Amino acid sequence: MRIALDVRCLMNRNYSGVAEYTYNLLNNLFEQDKENQYKLFYNSKSDVLSQLPKFDFPNVKYYGFNFSNKLFNLGLKFLKYPKIDELIGGADIFFIPNLNFFASSKKCKLVITMHDLSFKLYPHFFSLKRRLWHKLINAKKLASSCDKIISDSKNTKNDLTGQYDISPNKIKVIGLGVDNEIYHVIDKNDSKLIEVKNKYALPENFLLFLGTIEPRKNIEGIIEAFTLAKRKYPELKTLNLIVAGEPGWKNKNVFAAVKKSIFKDQTKFIGYVSREDKVYLYNLAKTLIFPSFYEGFGLPIIEAQACGIPIITSSDSSLVEIAQNSALLVNPDEVGQLAKAINEIISNENLRTTLITNGRKNCARFTWQKCARETLEYLLK
């Protein structure tokens, strides 16, 4: 069987959640499947081959093209040309791990992963450019035209059936994973741990947010809750807030909120953290604070749990489904609740121990090996 894969999301050096999903899924897929032939499609005007992962498997081959992305996408959108499966010499199945401009021949079966419908449900969280991009993609039409759909969570499946009127029989829920060889508890005297702490000039005692700096992540709410918690609870005097992640869109209010905070000297933005450094950052943190307004899955939750730290997250969207009873769940709109949760998770050792124990059990439900196995079975079904 010839299985084609769209790997355009892997062309950037800095991986977002979608790129993490695609890389880990494919790496485990290729480890498990030595029979089928895999064709990896990408397109870029510049030479990006050196930036793409080196999948060293005999049944895996890259098919790269150097078309102008603007012209290429316009052709795919308005002319339905070129047919990407024909461009790479034919495929029986084409797997699209994320929304993108696409066109294929009728003889090629299409499978897409829909991670979430945040752009549909919360358009005000996106910039005009991002809204226009999603409008041009026409996610509803693309998803409806696919033979099969994968969703990260039951919540996203429900959104797809409710918002796009897609039959639930067409959608398979396959959770993401965590690599326990990478994400695990590290000894506090580990030299690399100390090296990463010094690299980012991290304090001893800090809350951690990790993700793209954009409105959906509720970072303004985190800053407000952090300020309220420190003012209300004297025992949090030495607590700091570390925000890790690349700037996304519509983030001016986030940086403005920090400038106005009376605890701005204890709030630090450290930018994008490499995949190699993330495990050490989790291990150094007191807790992960992740109160997004909406998530299709919430990968940092299970990564942080594998590293043995407790979690504060939202009682909303897929996050309840993913965290279950292993995290403190709060209403993301209630700053007071979030501030109280910060104090509880830092000050209550019994609660911390319980959440850490439950967290390790919870993240064990999610592995990339399982994700790859279930994905392969669904592709070939």
pLDDT digits (tens, 9 = 90+) for 148-173: 999 999 999 999 999 999 999 999 99
In 29-63, which positions are buried (b, 16+ CB within 10 angstroms) versus exposed (e)? bbeebeebebbbbbbbeeebeeebeebeeeebebb
pLDDT tops 90 at residue 14: no
Please state, for a pLDDT cut of 90, what percent of the chain lies above it.
94
Give Cβ neighbours of residue 52 (< 8 Å, ≥ 6 apart): 7, 10, 11, 40, 42, 62
What would be the CATH architecture of the domain defined by 191-363?
Answer: 3-Layer(aba) Sandwich (3.40)
Peptide linkage before 82 cis (omega within 30 of 0): yes
CATH 3.40.50.2000 domain extents, the chain: 2-177+367-380, 191-363
How big is the CA angle at 347 (ends 306 and 197), to the nearest 5 degrees? Answer: 50
Q: How confident is the model at residue 334 (pLDDT cuts 50, 70, 90)?
A: very high
Domain 2-177+367-380 has CATH 3.40.350.10: no
Provide the mean pLDDT of the chain: 96
Per residue in 33-92, pLDDT (tens digit) is 999 999 999 999 998 998 999 999 999 999 999 999 999 999 999 999 999 999 999 999
Q: Which amino acid is at 10?
A: L
Phi/psi of residue 143, nearest 5 degrees: -65, -40
> pTM, whole model, 2 decimals?
0.95
Half-sphere exposure of 122 (CA within 13 A, CB side): 16
